Amino acid sequence: MNSIKPLTNRAAWKALAAHQKKIKGRHLRQLFAADPKRGERLTVEAAGVFLDYSKNRVTGETLRLLLQLAKESGLRRRIDAMFTGDKINLTENRAVLHVALRAPKTAKILVDGKNVVPEVHAVLDKMGKFADHVRGGGWKGHTGKRIKNVVNIGIGGSDLGPVMAYEALKHYSRRDMTFRFVSNVDGSDFVEAVHDLNPAETLFIVSSKTFTTLETMTNAESARAWLLKGLGGRVKAVAKHFVAVSTNAEKVAAFGIDTANMFGFWDWVGGRYSMDSAIGLSTMLAVGPKRFRALLDGFHQMDEHFRTAPFEKNLPVLMGLISIWYNDFFDAQTVAVLPYENYLKRFPAYLQQLTMESNGKHVTLEGKRVNYETSPIYWGEPGTNGQHSFYQLIHQGTRLVPCDFIAFAHALTPLGRHHDILMANVFAQTEALAFGKTSEQVRAEGAAGLLVPHRVFEGNRPSNTILADRLTPEVLGKLVALYEHSVFTQGAIWNINPFDQWGVELGKALAQRIMPELESKATPKLTHDSSTNNLIRRYRKLTRG
Ligand code: F6P
């Protein structure tokens, strides 16, 4: 198994801790002044994605030690283990092969001695045929009308990827079709999603890896009832208006969906890594099979870069290491992800599951409590909106918030000066964060007295800038894979399992216990703590009298 030393005993870790003490006071102004080429040197490009990491509080020595840490942590071995289908998800005894979802037809990736790539392509072909059929109007609803509305029902990884991708690629989507996404068990989500839809023209995709998730199954039942009500209660109608994406054929059949209309995937695809599996069916229906393949190709290009590039030129590795630097040595608690591309408005929400469900762990692979911090909190909003909201804290607050700025050379919808203005803001923000404004500069601008400290920007706020040509399906794939592998890098160094999610189970189990206590006619005997008991009693009184 694992022969590496505990993280805090590794030589590079200790050296980084000592090194941090030496350089923590060093300002980005000094680092840039000492090296006029720093802004050109500390950059790397792969598969058309450019990363400028020069505005980070790192020196050559920091990078050397971080790279050494990656080496001492066995990162190379772990990457190889993932790509070759080893069961690296130890607690669930599963391989972790989202990279197989975007592997070319000719690739060979074995799980339990069986090449999984042909199955991946068989499902892709089936999805493609189905998508063409629906988009071309050949697939008719129960009353003979063509499908105009697609509603994806799913939650977590079975929702966030599809919504994010739909929003990100809306520019390329069929504008004569309506796409909606229902996730929350709060009934208003479903009611609002279908309020203006005609059931005769609506297709539901029930997306659930397990096909047991409470929220999804509750919404799917309500969708079936809504459909049957709208189509005069004809049960036969379900077949023309429901398809499923799942790994669980038995449950799909039990729900009443013909398994011929089921699109499968496999237990070696984690929910939060599944947007490029059949879970992406809504994406394919929106943008078409060809563009979906381009998305996969983008993922694959970044996979290959991650798998083969030396660590010092490896985008995901560098981003993962830099994030560890702030998280574990500067006590930074969060990372802000700031896309300057409105189509990426759901990208931060998508990343929240990817990063925090993966690396929000408190024990090592060997089950020992970690004595260091694991995943930071990822959050964000598109720029420039965030600038008029929370950026105040990033510029002048007391917390260190490393930022990822994401921008594109070309707008998808060019409009007058808009794009230049947008991009000027990206560059201005990273410059302002890094270099700030001194009290001397503030005074020279005419401010005096009390106003001076209020107008000082300390600077030394770190950021990455990620720049690509334009937001195409291919580039979206590269971007998502970049973060997937950055998360992998972090998890490998922290020696945790990024691929399970036991932390979601307790709340689920307790909700199952509380549900009958809310719904029972007779007054239930409550045995929770006094707060929970009291809240349940109060809710019952307000709703049942
Ligand atoms: O509860 C968390 C979770 O298991 C996620 O990991 C997953 O993406 C989501 O629920 C949905 O699960 P499923 O696709 O099985 O409905």
Q: Which residue has the tokens 């005609």?
A: 198
Residue to mutate, 183, 210, 262, 269, ligand 1, most ligand atoms under 8 Å from C-beta = 210
- Residue-wise pLDDT for 71-112, tens only, equals 999 999 999 999 999 999 999 999 999 999 999 999 999 999
Q: What is the pLDDT of residue 459?
A: 98
Q: How confident is the model at residue 234 (pLDDT cuts 50, 70, 90)?
A: confident
Residue to mutate, 153, 209, 504, ligand 1, most ligand atoms under 8 Å from C-beta = 209
- Residue-wise pLDDT for 341-396, tens only, equals 999 999 999 999 999 999 999 999 999 999 999 999 999 999 999 999 999 999 99
Q: What is the pLDDT of residue 159?
A: 98
Q: Can you list the alpha helix ranges (DSSP code H) found in 171-272?
A: 187-194, 214-230, 238-241, 249-255
| Ligand 1 binding pocket includes 219 (Cβ within 6 Å) | no
User: In the chain, what is the greatest distance between 2 CA atoms, to the nearest angstrom?
Assistant: 78
| Ligand 1 binding pocket includes 425 (Cβ within 6 Å) | no
| Ligand 1 binding pocket includes 216 (Cβ within 6 Å) | yes
CA of 80 to the centre of ligand 1 (A): 27
Is 454 catalytic? The answer is no
Is 170 catalytic? The answer is no
Q: What is the pLDDT of residue 4?
A: 86
User: Which atom of ligand 1 approaches the CA of 505 most closely?
Assistant: 1
167, 215, 341, 357: the catalytic one is 357
**Is the predicted pLDDT of residue 520 greater than 80, yes or no?**
yes
- Residue-wise pLDDT for 439-462, tens only, equals 999 999 999 999 999 999 999 999
User: Which atom of ligand 1 approaches the CA of 210 most closely?
Assistant: 15
Q: How confident is the model at residue 482 (pLDDT cuts 50, 70, 90)?
A: very high
Q: Give the burial class of 535: count Cβ atoms within 10 A of its Cβ; 0-12 exposed, 13-18 middle, 19 or more buried.
A: middle
Check residues 259 and 2 and name the one with the higher pLDDT.
259
388, 454, 521, 541: the catalytic one is 388
| Ligand 1 binding pocket includes 208 (Cβ within 6 Å) | yes
The mean pLDDT of the chain is: 97
CA of 215 to the centre of ligand 1 (A): 10
Q: What is the pLDDT of residue 544?
A: 87
Is 140 catalytic? The answer is no
CA distance 318 to 28: 18
349: nearest Cα among 475, 165, 487: 165
Mean pLDDT of 318-347: 98
22, 229, 418, 508: the catalytic one is 508
pTM: 0.98
473: nearest Cα among 412, 405, 426, 418: 412
- Residue-wise pLDDT for 390-434, tens only, equals 999 999 999 999 999 999 999 999 999 999 999 999 999 999 999
CA of 265 to the centre of ligand 1 (A): 14
Q: Which residue has the tokens 């520019």?
A: 171
Secondary element (H or E) of residue 531: helix 530-544
- Residue-wise pLDDT for 125-168, tens only, equals 999 999 999 999 999 999 999 999 999 999 999 999 999 999 99
